[in-house]
Amino acid sequence: MAGSSRGLRAAAIGILVASLTAGGGVLAMALWVRYRPAPFLFEPGDAIPERFVAIVPGARVSPGGQPSQSLEDRLQAALELYRSGRVKKLLVSGDHHAPEYDEVNAMQRWLRERGVPDADVFLDHAGIRTLDTMVRASRVFQVRDAIVCTQRYHLPRAVFLAREAGIDAIGVAADRHEYVKARLDAAREFAARIRAFLDVYLLGTQPRHLGAPIPIDGDATRTHDRWTED
Query: What are the DSSP calls for 132-197, one per residue?
Result: HHHHHHHHTS---EEEEEE-TTTHHHHHHHHHHTT-EEEEEE---S--TTHHHHHHHHHHHHHHHH
In this structure, is residue 196 part of a structural domain? no
CB 174 within 8 A of CB 151: yes
pLDDT at 28 over 80: yes
User: What pLDDT, in 10s, does the model give residues 127-138?
Assistant: 999 999 999 999
Q: Is residue 7 part of a domain?
A: no
How many Å separate Cα 103 from the centre of its chain?
Answer: 14
* pLDDT value at 182 more than 60: yes
In a domain, residue 12? The reply is no
- pTM, two decimals, is 0.88
2 found inside a domain: no
Residue 119 within a domain: yes
The reported pLDDT for the residue numbered 20 is 55
pLDDT of residue 98 exceeding 90: no
Cα R_g (the chain), whole angstroms: 17
* pLDDT at residue number 228: 41
pLDDT tens digit string along 141-158? 999 999 999 999 999 999
How many whole angstroms separate alpha carbon 37 and alpha carbon 90? 22
Q: Is the pLDDT of residue 25 over 60?
A: yes
If DSSP codes are grouped into helix, strand and coil, which group holds residue 98?
strand
Task: Say yes or no to pLDDT of 200 above 50.
Answer: yes
Phi, psi dihedral angles at 29 (to 5 degrees): -65, -45
Cα angle 95, 195, 181 (rounded to 5 degrees) comes to 60
At 55, give phi and psi (nearest 5°). Answer: -100, 125
Full domain range(s) for residue 134: 40-181+209-229
Residue 31 covered by a domain:
no
**Residues 96-106, mean pLDDT to the nearest whole number:** 82
**Rounded CA separation 149/79 (Å):** 10
> What total of structural domains would you count in the chain?
1
Distance CA 14, CA 12 (A): 5
pLDDT band at 1 (very low <50, low <70, confident <90, very high): low
Q: For residue 14, is it within any domain?
A: no
CATH code: domain of residue 65 = 3.40.50.620
Q: 166 in a domain, yes or no?
A: yes
Look at strands 53-57 and 89-93 and give their pairing: parallel
Q: pLDDT (tens digit, 9 = 90+) per residue, 48-69?
A: 999 999 999 998 888 888 999 9
